[in-house]
Amino acid sequence: MMGEFMAAEIADQPAVLARLLARAPRDIEAVSRLVPRPLLGVFFLARGSSDNAAMLGRYLSELAAGRPAGLAAPSLYTRYRAAVNWHGFLVVALSQSGTTPEIVATCRALQSSGAVVLAITNTPDSELAAAADLVLSTDAGLERAVPATKTVTAEMLLMVTVARALGPVGATTEEVMELASAILDVLRDATPMEAPARRWAQADRLVVTGRGLAYAAALECALKIKETTGVLAEGISIADLLHGPVAAVNAGAPALLVNAGGPTAQDLE
């Protein structure tokens, strides 16, 4: 039954993304009004799949805003009670449910320390939403499968929206608008995925690697493989892989390369 839920939710992705693309101009304007002036930096706050979406936001935001971007560490606030001045920073908190206790608690701590907080959630009436200055809903509908799919790609698209509010992202509006139809094309033909899946069906480990803007997708792909198959899949940057962990590949672990093209394509070659 869970597999049926997940398959249906995967198939929902083009429609979900189309809705977000249609409202993107309004979202971009709302985020632009929210951004602190001057902006000192952008930090992302999340766990699990949302943390992988946040990694994409971290890359895109630094490119677009020309300001430092990073991932906030919740334990610094929920365990170590760090006292940090967050004035001038935009914090983007991501949670599909909007109820993850440490994300909500950290969000409140950063806001009380001066941060401007943007919440991205599939539950716009959640605790996280109540703790934020602005909420962007993923508008993905109910997600019943434990491995999140449509909410993750919705979060990733909203990372593009946030970056577009901060500055140019290197993709034209027309290219961004084609995203939903491009995903629909992928879902219509599973043949390219079936061949490696059959080859790796008996594998007990797998390396998923990418770099730059593809890194987040590699991390999320590895997580999905772990959640759905029990295979120990390691998501890793190609740069880190070549610093020593490539020994696992040399010893026979299959490797899946996620290639987003652009400046990092030569690294995967």
- What is the spatial distance between Cα 246 and Cα 59, in angstroms, rounded to a whole number? 24
Phi, psi values for residue 164, rounded to 5°: -65, -25
Q: CA–CA separation, 236 vs 221, rounded Å?
A: 11
- Answer CATH for 2-183 from 3.40.50.10490, 3.30.70.920, 2.40.30.10, 3.30.70.980: 3.40.50.10490
| Three-state secondary-structure class, residue 197 | helix
Average pLDDT (202-229) is 95
What mean pLDDT do residues 125-144 have?
97
pTM of the entire structure?
0.95
DSSP H helix total and E strand total for the chain: 14, 8
DSSP 23: H
Query: Given a cut of 80, is residue 207 above it in pLDDT?
Result: yes
Backbone angles phi, psi at 205, to 5 degrees: -155, 160
**Positions of CATH 3.40.50.10490 in the chain:** 2-183, 190-268
Lowest-pLDDT range, 82-91, 120-129, 245-254? 245-254
Residue 130 has pLDDT above 90, yes or no: yes
Q: Which residues contact 232 (CB under 8 A, 6 or more apart)?
A: 204, 205, 206, 226
- Give the pLDDT score at 1: 64
pLDDT tens digits for range 141-176:
999 999 999 999 999 999 999 999 999 988 777 888
**Tens-digit pLDDT profile for residues 40-53:** 999 999 999 999 99
User: What fold does the segment set 190-268 form as a domain?
Assistant: Rossmann fold (3.40.50)
